[in-house]
Amino acid sequence: MQRLTASERLPGGITVYYAMGDEEMETSFSFMELIDRRINSLDLIENPRKYQYDEDSGALILKP
């Protein structure tokens, strides 16, 4: 699992950024995907470091 380092709002969703070694990687989620996954979009934008990204499953997870 990779800890998110930043997030950015797009017209149709949110791009999240995470560190993978020395590289910064990114992936995007539509608002519908986030709703289906029960992720609060506003919280993800304001507090991306509270979330982790699992590359294998493509899941965003709220850190415990």
This model's pTM is above 0.95: no
Q: Give the tens place of pLDDT for each residue, 5-55.
A: 999 999 999 999 999 888 999 999 999 999 999 999 999 999 999 999 998
The two most distant CA atoms of the chain are separated, in Å, by 31
Query: Token pair for residue 17?
Result: 């950024």
Burial 20-44 (b: 16+ CB within 10 A, else e): eeeeeeeeebeeeebeeeebeeeeb
